[in-house]
Amino acid sequence: MTWRISHRARAIKPSPTISVAEKAMNLKRQGVNVLNFGVGEPDFSTPEYIKNAGHQAITDNFTRYTATKGIPELREAICEKLLNENGLTYNPEDILVSPGAKASIFQILMTICDPRDEVLIPSPYWVSYTSQVEMADAFPVLMPTRESRDIHSFKIKPEQLEDTIQNCSNPKALILNSPNNPTGTVYRREQLEGIAEVCLKHNLLIISDEIYEKLIYDGREHISIASLSPEMQEQTVVINGVSKAYSMTGWRLGYAAGPKEIMTRAARIQSHLSSSVCSIAQKAAVAALTQDDGSVENMRIEFDKRRKYMVEGLNKIRNITCYMPKGAFYCMPNVSFYLFNNKKGINSTVELCEYLLDKYHLALVPGQAFGALVYVRFSYAASMENITEGLKRFEEGLLSLNK
């Protein structure tokens, strides 16, 4: 029996980040010594104080459905966090806790997009943005950015945004992600001010994905675009979560904060999907946001060491250049030299990553997945030992292309 699959499902490709992770896990299960730099998730354990709160929730039988938007205690803790760390004042009613920031973004898109609306996305972009926009029956409009040696590396500029809007029919929203996955770029205040001005002029909603806010280096500061002015806050939905900062990817908890009307309607959508987030994860997230045993900063310091080590190692490989990321835990070496000069007939990053996985047991994500055609993405959420070995295999793999 063949089923007539919906146009929506037919248009959706599997998430390349998740596919690489699954491939690497399968090989590992078969006993292959795979080095996985594919999926972006911290390799640390969830801090003890957070796990304890989860255990306590189970002991206390806190195991039932909760309010759709999230338990009041958690939404209050989120409001406190947004006020103290981002200078943003929200009412707990305007917070929606969802099963991961991924779900938060999708529900906001489902709330605001009509068929054929356009959602603007700087490219390279995180893989799920474009697919989620398509699932909401809207069009992703990519705004290419370039690597450069100055402060504009991998960033959109106000003039580019203005031009893109002029060429759109129904521009609805801009998805901004700083610190950025996959490039590691971090927008500065004055750069965000320029973007905010254009968005205000055109009533473009900003979905500001700030999930990597705590993973930021070289003394850079995370600025939420919503905090630039009350008008900007009214035009922004802030997305954040506990996955990356607290090493809680498997607990599945993210949140959105934004204008009342959007949040109320997004909560209605969630009430028909997941209802609430796992009650135990919510209690653990309260602990994550209200206590601190220093582990978040320790993880950041460790990521910083690995970042420098990995990027310096990559730049030592012949004909490879790699931008030093300022945030998140990814780096993207430019592999164009090898793509265009090899005897193996490899001419795309997908083919290159397949080759490196098959022959060198090195799992990377092809830049093509992010709209970055001549790059591959490494996640440096890996041990120093694995990074050292990974760099060695990467170099050997690249040099073998011409043997």
Number of other residues whose CB lies within 10 A of the CB of residue 275: 12
Of the candidates 103, 134, 102, the one whose C-alpha atom is nearest the C-alpha of residue 118 is: 134
> Does 12 help bind ligand GLU (rule: CB under 6 A)?
no
Query: CA-to-CA distance for 94 and 78, rounded, in angstroms?
Result: 11
> Does 211 help bind ligand PMP (rule: CB under 6 A)?
yes
Instruction: Answer whether 143's CB lies under 8 Å from 174's CB.
Output: no
Token reading at 73: 């205690």
Total count of residues recorded for the chain: 403
- Which residue matches tokens 């968005």? 199
Instruction: Answer whether 383's CB lies under 8 Å from 376's CB.
Output: no
> Does 124 help bind ligand PMP (rule: CB under 6 A)?
no
Contacts of 111 (CB under 8 A, 6+ apart): 262, 265, 266, 269
> Does 104 help bind ligand GLU (rule: CB under 6 A)?
no
Under DSSP, the state recorded for 182 is T
To ligand GLU, the closest distance from the beta carbon of 82 in angstroms equals: 22
Pick from 22, 41, 134, 304 the residue near ligand GLU by CB under 6 A: 41
To ligand GLU, the closest distance from the beta carbon of 79 in angstroms equals: 25
To ligand PMP, the closest distance from the beta carbon of 157 in angstroms equals: 21
With CB under 5 to 8 Å by kind, the binding choice for 209 among ligand GLU, ligand PMP, none is ligand PMP
Instruction: Answer whether 244's CB lies under 8 Å from 77's CB.
Output: no
Contacts of 355 (CB under 8 A, 6+ apart): 344, 346, 397, 401
In the shown chain, the binding pattern of residues 109 to 148 toward ligand GLU, with x for contact by CB under 6 A and - for none, equals -----------------xxx--------------------
Q: Which is nearer to ligand PMP, 241 or 366 (CB)?
A: 241
Number of residues in contact with ligand GLU under rule CB under 6 A: 11
Of the candidates 232, 211, 278, 333, the one whose C-alpha atom is nearest the C-alpha of residue 324 is: 333
Residues of this chain, 37-66, that bind ligand PMP according to CB under 6 A? 40
Q: Which is nearer to ligand PMP, 123 or 177 (CB)?
A: 177
257 phi and psi, to 5 degrees?
-135, 130
Query: What residues are paired with 335 via a beta bridge?
Result: none
Pick from 24, 34, 35, 40 the residue near ligand GLU by CB under 6 A: 40
Written as one string, the DSSP assignment of 17-43 is HHHHHHHHHHHHHTT---EE--S----
> Does 348 help bind ligand GLU (rule: CB under 6 A)?
no
To ligand GLU, the closest distance from the beta carbon of 393 in angstroms equals: 20
Contacts of 94 (CB under 8 A, 6+ apart): 257, 258, 259, 260, 263
> Does 122 help bind ligand PMP (rule: CB under 6 A)?
no
With CB under 5 to 8 Å by kind, the binding choice for 101 among ligand PMP, ligand GLU, none is ligand PMP
Options 94-102, 190-198, 333-341, 346-354: segment touching ligand PMP (CB under 6 A): 94-102
Pick from 69, 75, 81, 102 the residue near ligand PMP by CB under 6 A: 102
> Does 126 help bind ligand PMP (rule: CB under 6 A)?
yes
Q: Which residues bind ligand PMP (CB under 6 A)?
A: 40, 100-102, 126, 177, 181, 209, 211, 241, 243, 249, 254
Q: What does the binding site for ligand GLU look like in residue numbers (CB under 6 A)?
A: 15, 17-18, 39-41, 102, 126-128, 181
